[in-house]
Amino acid sequence: MREQRRALELSSEFQPSKTTLGAWVKTICRAMDAAGCDSKAVLAQSGLELRALDGPDVRCPIELSIRLWKLAAKVTQDPAFGVKAASHIKNTSFHALSYGISSSSTLKDAFERALRYSRWVSDVVNYRFVRRGREYHFVMEPTTEVPDESVDCLVAAYLRMCRSLIGRDFSPLRIELRRPAPERIDDFNAILRAPLTFGAPQTRMVFAAEAIERQLDSGNAELAQHNDAIALRYLAKTEISGIQVRVGELLRARLPDGEPTEEEVARLLKMSVRTLQRKLLDNGTTYRSVLDDTRRDLAMFYLRVPVYSLSAVTHMLGYSAPSCLTRAFRRWTGQSPRAWRAAGCIRP
């Protein structure tokens, strides 16, 4: 019982229902290389491969991105790694969205455009952008626990966006960071160049309304609309997979109590079985395929963690006996779970 409880605690780290664009992983790697670290080795330790992230809309499960951020902070030993990483975002990192932002008529237009397509870039952060008197407040609220460095990077990235449009000397009125103050803040001050508050209730950037609403010489409405159309297609592809994500999320929650039926999942999603089947079919999959894929991904995650015994993995995947897990795992990998684990697949 103690082992299974520990396994459940560890498995809370695994949240593949949330994802980020693969471009973030490449940005982290470039920042590690610039810091003199071996990004390839760190990437391998995190369980990622760069070649698997090629393509404009390839996404990375949030648990792997979180692991990479933590490892990057550890190997660089730099409390300002996050704000420095933002300088390694390329003009093409976010594809059409980057070009649409560059063509925005005002900073207000740029922020609203970025928020409109934010779920394509990442569905891990909620944003609010509101005018309050003579100020605009831009609030970032992660929907799950993420490393401080990842939020630092977001803050610096949006500030770089502003400076690329309005001028390198531009700074907000103030920046409030929810994270605790690091041991050294010199680099934060040098890069952000704004009054900083650490340990704030929320992460917030505050701008003068005049600067946010000023017309930009680089604005090009036709070009912005063209890139909006492309970004919208990317976003649509991401949103289409939502039903598959929701089913997978329910399965991960229910599997330790046994394999849920399709009827049960449909009821929890407040739809008929026929509607669920149609939505999954529109996404090119079926309930059995999502169930099988979810079990495969969870099995490979659990088996990398030494504390998980095969009996615990069997239970958490909703199988009735270890032999059921073994048969399924051989089908997925051509190996038994024991052989796969013995081959060196355990996470350190």
In the chain, where are the structural domains located?
Answer: 19-237, 241-345
The answer to whether 46 touches 64, Cβ cutoff 8 Å, is yes
Distance CA 129, CA 111 (A): 8
Q: How far apart are CA 20 and CA 143, in angstroms?
A: 13
* The token pair that represents 16 in the structure block: 């593949």
- CA R_g for the chain: 22
Q: Is the separation of the CB atoms in 200 and 137 below 8 Å?
A: no
List the structure tokens of 107. Answer: 């900073």
CATH level 2 (architecture), domain 241-345: Orthogonal Bundle (1.10)
Two domains, one topology: 19-237 and 241-345: no
DSSP bridge pairs for 125 = 142
pLDDT in tens, the chain (348 residues): 344 434 433 333 444 457 788 889 999 999 999 999 999 999 888 877 777 677 766 778 888 889 999 999 999 999 999 999 999 998 888 888 888 899 999 999 999 998 888 877 887 888 999 999 999 999 999 988 999 999 999 999 999 999 999 999 999 999 999 999 999 999 999 999 999 999 999 999 999 999 999 999 888 888 888 878 877 777 766 655 567 777 887 898 889 999 999 999 999 888 899 999 988 887 778 999 999 988 998 888 788 777 788 999 999 999 999 999 999 999 998 899 999 888 765 443
Where b means 16+ CB within 10 Å and e means fewer, 19-29 reads: bbbbbbbbbbb
Query: Which parts of 126-240 fold into alpha helices (H)?
Result: 148-166, 186-192, 209-213, 221-240
**What kind of architecture, by CATH, is found in domain 19-237?**
Alpha-Beta Complex (3.90)
- Side chain identity at 109, as an amino acid letter? D
